[in-house]
Amino acid sequence: MTISKRHHSPDRKAKIALQAIRGEDKINQIASVNQIHPTQVKRWKKTVEENASLLFSDKRKAENKSQGELIEQLYKVVGQRDIELEWLKKKLSIFDDRR
């Protein structure tokens, strides 16, 4: 007998998790009605509880921060290229003087 994995949509997972958070029914009852294991209901509930604060976070701040980090990284790369270019110019001028 082969047991195939069922894939649940994010909407369904969220509804089941919210039902468990509300506490109107016991986890075992929710699992039984939805034909899933009670451990799975507990995991989804825990995931929602841990990540609920992300729903209210200001995405603009995170976006600006990532852009700032990118700009800083690009300045480092440009600075490193400038140093390498100066070093190459110095080395090439030494080779030109030997001729």
For 17-67, how does the pLDDT look when each residue is reduced to its tens digit (9 = 90+)? 999 999 989 999 999 999 999 999 999 999 999 988 888 877 666 666 778
What are phi and psi for residue 57, nearest 5 degrees?
A: -75, 150
Task: Please state the rounded mean pLDDT for residues 11-19.
Answer: 93
- Predicted pLDDT of residue 98: 59
For 77-96, how does the pLDDT look when each residue is reduced to its tens digit (9 = 90+)? 999 999 999 999 888 887 66
Domain boundaries, the chain: 8-55, 58-99
